[in-house]
Amino acid sequence: MTAPLVEMRHISKSFGAVTALNDVSIALDPGSVLGLVGDNAAGKSTLMKVLAGAILPDRGEILIDGARASYTHPIGARDAGIEMIYQDFALVPDLTVAQNIFLGRELTRKVAGLTVLDRQTMNARSEALFGALGLRVPSVRLPVLSLSGGQQQAVAIARATGFDARLVIMDEPTANLGAPAIEKVRETITQLKSNGVSVIIISHRLEDIFAIGDHFVVMKQGRVVGRRHVGDTENAEIVEMIVTGRDPRLSGGEAA
């Protein structure tokens, strides 16, 4: 039996007296889309920041391809093929699209014995990346601050997927976007899935998960309270678990 791409086992995390995560376990297969849902303070973003190496758990372990992962920072997670797109996109507004994509991974060349940035190659590779993903921006030479919200989302997706990512975590990827941009994000996630890339979507928009996802994991107050296949549930059931923190299919409505 093939091991999941990623497993998080018994993850717990507290900030002082506040328990953010309490014995959380999830698993994700290659090329699948998981919707991580719950109300505010459910622990969704904290859990994903643990997976992305931005937060260290107090207890628990992460396995990749069945082997225990040992990274302790985002660069280590990135080296393991895990990328996270934050809700604010984490872009540098004054830098160009290409510069944002290659931020921290800049390409250089030698000119008269001096090392300089290879802007031409970075621009060309950025254009090729957008083409491969089916994404569009007016120009990779434009500063990010001149782009619309949907175009900035495209830059963040391109940056996350352009360097052999195996898992992309998206925090509210369709929040504050218009209908055309939302549809484009959905198309991009579907394409990533077809390319064997797994995606975890943190979202309050259940319709996005029903449209393109494979599974739901519902969290409440730092715990997993329910799990569903997308084809084996409906909106009302997911909302019930989000609100009550109980799985109606379990005896007595206990947490999952």
Convert the pLDDT of each residue in 62-86 to its tens digit. Answer: 999 999 998 999 989 999 999 999 8
Estimate the crossing angle of helix 149-161 against helix 179-194, to 10 degrees: 10
Q: Which stretches does DSSP call E strand in 72-193?
A: 82-85, 108-111, 114-117, 167-171
pLDDT at 3: 82
Using pLDDT thresholds of 50, 70 and 90, give the confidence band for residue 256.
Answer: low
* Residue 127 exposure: Cα atoms within 13 Å on the Cβ side: 11
Averaged pLDDT score across all residues of the chain: 92
pLDDT at 197: 93
The residue ranges of every structural domain in the chain are: 6-253
User: Which top CATH class is 6-253?
Assistant: alpha beta
Burial of 158 (C-beta count, 10 Å sphere; 0-12/13-18/19+): buried
Q: In degrees rounded to 5, what are phi and psi of residue 161?
A: -105, 0
pLDDT greater than 90 at residue 163: no
What value does the CA radius of gyration of the chain take, rounded to a whole number of Å? 19
Q: Which of 41-50, 63-72, 82-91, 215-224 is least confident?
A: 82-91
Using pLDDT thresholds of 50, 70 and 90, give the confidence band for residue 254.
Answer: low
